[in-house]
Amino acid sequence: MLDSLFISATGMHAEQAQIDTVANNLVNMNTMGFKKSRVTFETLMPQPLVQGAAPESAAGVMRGMGVSGTNALLDFAAGGLKQTQGELDVAIQGRGLFEVQLPDGSLAYTRNGALHIDNDGYLVNADGLPLSAMIQVPSDMEKLLIGPDGRVQMKLQDSEQLTDLGYIQLSHFANDAGLQPTLNNSYLATEMSGAVVYSRPGENGVGLLAQGYLEGSNVQMIEELTNMMTAQRAYEANSRVLRASDEILGIINNLRK
């Protein structure tokens, strides 16, 4: 009976993690480049139903001792492209991430390609973090061109000649789902994600760039609402098991000879 208390409690914790994850997905449904997360559930400490029985025997059926649902993995499925006509808006068509430099010098990664030019002329993201390529645009620039292969060119005022400014490389990982979400819709590399690999757009399986577009989130409202309702009902079921176990223990404690 005590097992049922702990098992139902782990179920409530797991479903609460699912509810929190789904809520975060829904809140960021309109955030450009946002990637939804999903919770994975695992059985905790499976034990033989009959103590001492071999696992391969009929009597050695394994029973779970609860569930863990704290491991939220990122889903890097592509979001829809939205045309903006902005020359500093860039979307990735396929795999890959923009690499930006944090104030402490470390690196972060994002799919949000809403760029702009800071006071020093560098290309920065929506949060003011410069691209690691450190591409600087002169103040007399009239038009900026970002090619599908990441080549950045500009046209000066009163000139038809294009000048190369550099390349925007894309970053990718052996396991993108292992990245750690951080503030401002960015991600940090982890041991689970593996080391970063740099490639030009269109090479080594990474996508091409699309100037004048932004990538929307990959959150589907109906899917997330369904997941939310399922998690809430599962939470209620576990809470009822917890209450029923408590009531049974109460009856046992009140027994009289």
| Residues in a beta bridge with 77 | none
Q: What are phi and psi of 52, to 5 degrees?
A: 90, -5
One domain, residues 51 and 127: no
One domain, residues 139 and 14: no
One domain, residues 93 and 176: yes
One domain, residues 211 and 90: yes
One domain, residues 30 and 85: no
Q: In 3D, which of 238, 197, 27 has the Cα closest to residue 97? A: 197
Domain limits for position 11: 2-76+219-253
Q: In 3D, which of 167, 166, 188, 170 has the Cα closest to residue 179? A: 188
Q: In 3D, which of 206, 169, 205, 172 has the Cα closest to residue 189? A: 172
pLDDT values of the chain reduced to their tens digit, one per residue, 257 residues = 577 888 888 888 999 999 999 999 999 999 999 999 999 888 776 666 655 555 554 445 666 678 887 778 899 999 999 999 899 999 999 999 999 999 999 999 999 999 999 999 999 998 999 999 999 998 888 899 999 999 999 988 777 889 999 999 999 999 998 999 988 889 999 999 999 999 999 999 999 999 999 999 999 999 999 999 999 999 999 999 999 988 888 888 888 65
One domain, residues 41 and 163: no
Residue 161 CA to residue 149 CA, distance in Å, equals 20
Residue 60 CA to residue 207 CA, distance in Å, equals 50
- C-alpha dist (Å) from residue 215 to 100, 185, 210, 234: 17, 13, 10, 34
One domain, residues 223 and 210: no
Residue 74 CA to residue 6 CA, distance in Å, equals 29
Q: Quick count: other Cβ atoms within 10 Å of Cβ 162?
A: 13
One domain, residues 211 and 111: yes
Residue 143 CA to residue 160 CA, distance in Å, equals 10
Residue 28 CA to residue 77 CA, distance in Å, equals 15
One domain, residues 94 and 197: yes
Residue 133: exposure state from Cβ atoms within 10 A (0-12, 13-18, ≥19): buried
Number of domains in the chain: 2
One domain, residues 111 and 163: yes
Q: Which residue has the tokens 């982890």?
A: 190
Q: Quick count: other Cβ atoms within 10 Å of Cβ 72?
A: 18
One domain, residues 127 and 226: no
* 3-state secondary structure (DSSP) of residue 211: strand
